[in-house]
Amino acid sequence: MRRTRSVSLSALVLGAVLGLAAGCEPIDPDSGGNPPPVSNRVCYQHSDCTGNACCGEGTNPTHVQDGPDCSNVRCTNNCPADGLDCGRCVVFCRESRCEAACQG
């Protein structure tokens, strides 16, 4: 029992160290190069915002009321390099407008 607990603790510590060492770079919403929003609707929370296409293929942030209806879309795991939701950008609500903060 004691050996199992120390192995679990060692694995946890190792995972935390590796996770911190391999962490992702910070996203700066003011860094420039961020795609402009395509909607002028007011947002109140982050869930009010989405990409302008389904399945991570959107290239600009927009309000969910102006965004596509993705309820009957089947995604193919094809993710364009400049897509918003494929890990390159984060869509969020800032100062009542939908924006995206993107990494290089």
Can you give the residue ranges of every domain in the chain? 29-102
Tens of pLDDT, residues 47-62:
999 999 888 788 899 9
In the DSSP assignment, the letter for residue 60 is S
pLDDT tens, position by position, 80-97: 766 776 667 889 999 999
Instruction: Provide the 3-class DSSP secondary structure of residue 50.
Output: strand
94: enclosing H helix or E strand: strand 89-94
Mean pLDDT of 61-65: 95
Q: Residue 89: what pLDDT?
A: 84
